[in-house]
Structure 1
Amino acid sequence: MQAWALNDASTARAQAAVARAIGAIGRAPFAAEALSGLHAAFGAASWSVYRLRRDAPPTLHLSASRGVPDTTAACFSIYRDEGLYRGDSSFQAVQALPQPGAAVMLRMRAEEAPSADHRDAIYRRHGISERLSVACLEDGGALLAVNLYCHAPAQGFAAGTVEGFGLTAATLLAAVRRHLDDEAALALPPPRRERLRQRCAQLTERELDVLEALLDGLTYDGIAARLGLSVATVKTYRARAFERLGLHFRSQLFAAFVPPGA
């Protein structure tokens, strides 16, 4: 059995984290801004929000990392593409609820992952030591999960932060749902950089910088001046990025990432 003493300081940090998430609702940098508060309050180095469905692959709605390499999209791709979600029993407590709507808090250490493949491919490979989640069933049977991750060298979330998360988890879940609802209503395409990441999670920050500059219409000289790099280095980043994306010509980049009529 686990027990935690109530702590006014941890409660205040948790409330501040949720307030920051609420303040970021409807804004493009929601994932990063919300994580900054979650990191300060709970020590979360990354987080993700996804939906699990009974008859379809899961959907990643947002994710971000702070202080560690951002492997959230890559982890989710493994989870989805290798079918790990099909054997994911870690949300059974939520799926067993008789009615949708109630929020459930879950805590899972790396060694408690539902299968060896899940543990090794996601947690061990990417240095994730623990997951702290709040989830709920939705009308129609989908499950919405908000997941915070603790990364090595930390062994897990501190007891005080877990207690604080429990006090505010339902409000955080409501804030995330509101943000997702607002995004769906606006039906705006994701920012260009995010769309590039969605196409290839392995793109580095510098490669993304160069791709965005190309999409802005800059020449190699212009990109070099913007980024403070040599033209040769710009060309190297461009070649690597195109190889990752399976592109050969700049026109293909524009066709893939510039909306018609833009």
Structure 2
Amino acid sequence: MTPWKPTPPTDAMPARGMAHASALLAGLVESLGQADFAHSTLARLSTIAPLASLSVYRIGSLQPRLFMSASQGVPDTTRQCWSAYLSGPQHEDRSWGRQWPCHAPAAPGTGTAAVNGKGGSGEEQGSCSLVHVQASEVTPLHRQCVYEAHGVAERISIAERGGDGSVFAVNFYRHAHQKPFSDRHLSDFADLSAALMALTRKHIALTADAGESRWPQRLRERAPGLTARELDVCLRLLHGMTLDGIAADLQLSAATAKTYRNRAFARLDIHHRHQLFALMVE
């Protein structure tokens, strides 16, 4: 992975560029709290860079979590990518270490309070970092399971590290059929990073209870015979926890947690974690 540092601007942003950025951000503000926020964000940012997928997640904590994802122009395999990432590559991923992120210029008033806002996710946040990763730069397992398996070629991430060492990341992906990112694309994302991070966190705060509160009901509607423990395991899987994490959280052995998962999947007539995600967004 090659660290990227934005070139300090020599002139003020042209009026046309300011107008475009203003219109883009205005559209995202209008989408806050709406079900199509992820798709709207991806569509609008595709006007400034070749993008096909988006994901927003938290990793590095006891409960990894995918908050939202979307694709355009390609089959949406973002949740399959997330499941594959959690299966092993996340433990090898060094793109979030200090040697990789390149800090974007901090804007006035974009500290913790401005980014998190009232009712935010509750994580301690630091400054935004811009992370640029190409498929050739990740580990072989990561490349095979996530990038090559789903046609992903390149990633731009806007990331913040929490006080517990976790990373909250807003990720944009270029797929193999699209032209590579240029320095101009990276510069544009650096300029927009603080605003995009603030808008994403605010959207999550606005919708935190709307979707998840319906998960138990949807699961029981699909499989009325689910036991309380099977439901507990499914809900934790939906939050991105591994079986080892679930076992520790519920004070079970890993084998017992796996048994509950298998029983739940049999009742739900599914076989993989990504199918569980799909049930919640049908």
* Alignment partner, residue 73 of structure 2: 67
Distance 1:78 1:57, change over 3 A: farther
SS in 2 for 1:42: coil
The unaligned stretches of length 5 or more in structure 2 are 104-123, 223-265, 271-278
TM-superposed deviation, 1:17:
3.1
TM-superposed deviation, 1:64:
0.3
The answer on whether the counterparts of 2:6 and 2:190 sit within 8 Å (CA) in structure 1 is no
* Alignment partner, residue 126 of structure 2: 101
Distance 1:162 1:95, change over 3 A: closer
Distance 1:77 1:67, change over 3 A: same
Picking from 5, 12, 16, the partner of 2:23 is 16
Distance 1:104 1:140, change over 3 A: same
Separation in 1, partners of 2:22, 2:184: 14
TM-superposed deviation, 1:52:
0.8
TM-superposed deviation, 1:142:
2.7
TM-superposed deviation, 1:14:
4.3
Separation in 1, partners of 2:81, 2:174: 14
Alignment of 1:164 with 2:205, yes or no, is no
Identity of aligned residues (%): 33
Picking from 144, 149, 160, the partner of 1:136 is 160
User: CA offsets per residue over residues 92-125 of structure 1, 9 Å max, x none?
Assistant: 138999x842000111111111x10001111112
Q: CA RMSD in A?
A: 3.4
User: CA offsets per residue over residues 192-225 of structure 1, 9 Å max, x none?
Assistant: 9xx89xx9xxxxxxxxxxxxxxxxxxxxxxxxxx
SS in 2 for 1:88: coil
The unaligned stretches of length 5 or more in structure 1 are 200-242, 248-255, 258-262
Give the TM-score of the pair, scaled to structure 1: 0.65
The answer on whether the counterparts of 2:42 and 2:51 sit within 8 Å (CA) in structure 1 is yes
The answer on whether the counterparts of 1:46 and 1:63 sit within 8 Å (CA) in structure 2 is yes
Picking from 34, 40, 44, the partner of 1:27 is 34
* Alignment partner, residue 89 of structure 1: 94
SS in 1 for 2:47: helix
Distance 1:190 1:155, change over 3 A: farther
TM-superposed deviation, 1:188:
3.8
The answer on whether the counterparts of 2:102 and 2:131 sit within 8 Å (CA) in structure 1 is no
* Alignment partner, residue 83 of structure 2: 77
The answer on whether the counterparts of 2:101 and 2:130 sit within 8 Å (CA) in structure 1 is no
* Alignment partner, residue 229 of structure 2: none
Separation in 2, partners of 1:140, 1:25: 27
